[in-house]
Amino acid sequence: MQAANPSPRVGVIMGSTSDWPIMQHAVEMLECLGVDYETRVVSAHRTPDLLFEYAKSAAERGLQVIIAGAGGAAHLPGMVASQTALPVLGVPVESKALKGLDSLLSIVQMPGGVAVGTLAIGKAGATNAGLLAAQILGNQDATIRQAVEAFRREQTDKVLASPDPRSA
């Protein structure tokens, strides 16, 4: 997995290719909202030098937010956050042994002074990470903010269009 866009503003990274079925939901949301991104496998344990290079060079390469998904020990989001001042959004990927609770606790329990915004376990967390990255970028980019606002209106309209659950 490499850059999907020529000028990525969001980096979507994961500890291994097995995390892609979850992390693809972050990418789908970014695409829905028109946000340029890149994807990359960067393992905290198997490729630590790559992890440090990726995180340290992210801002100079134009990234403004990093979404990091990891399962198990889930050190990736925290280690990335330790090497960059960019916002890092952590997505706990469900593990077989503990259903993602291990990942969640690893990501959410960052020491004071190294922030990682932690989202829900799995698909919902990845989807919301893409949405939250767009909302962060939308503070400075009216086009992205308008796309987020349109998405939110569509969500509301879907609910209002089917108030009776028997007709869904």
pLDDT of amino acid 6: 77
Q: Are 58 and 86 in contact (CB under 8 A)?
A: yes
The strand ranges marked E within the chain are: 10-14, 37-41, 65-71, 88-93, 117-118
Owner of token pair 């992390």: 23
pLDDT tens string 94-152: 988 899 999 999 999 999 999 999 999 999 999 999 999 999 999 999 999 999 999 99
Amino acid sitting at position 86 = L
pLDDT of amino acid 4: 55
Taking the CB of residue 75, how many other CB atoms lie within 10 A of it? 19
Share of the chain above pLDDT 70, in %: 96
Q: Token pair for residue 73?
A: 């020990």
Cα distance between residue 134 and residue 87, in whole Å: 12
> How would DSSP label each residue in 93-145?
EPPTTTTTHHHHHHHH-PPTTS--EE--SSHHHHHHHHHHHHHHHHTT-HHHH
pLDDT tens string 37-61: 999 999 999 999 999 999 999 999 9
Cα distance between residue 50 and residue 39, in whole Å: 14
Least confident of 71-75, 86-90, 99-103, 156-160: 71-75
| Nearest CA among 37, 46, 61, 63 for reference residue 130 | 37
State mean pLDDT over 22-46: 97
The strand ranges marked E within 15-162 are: 37-41, 65-71, 88-93, 117-118
φ/ψ of 158, rounded to 5, equals: -60, -45
Share of the chain above pLDDT 90, in %: 89
Cα distance between residue 54 and residue 83, in whole Å: 9
Cα distance between residue 119 and residue 132, in whole Å: 10
Average pLDDT, the chain: 94
Amino acid sitting at position 35 = V
Residue 2 has pLDDT above 50, yes or no: no
Provide the whole-model pTM. Answer: 0.94
Q: Token pair for residue 159?
A: 């609910």
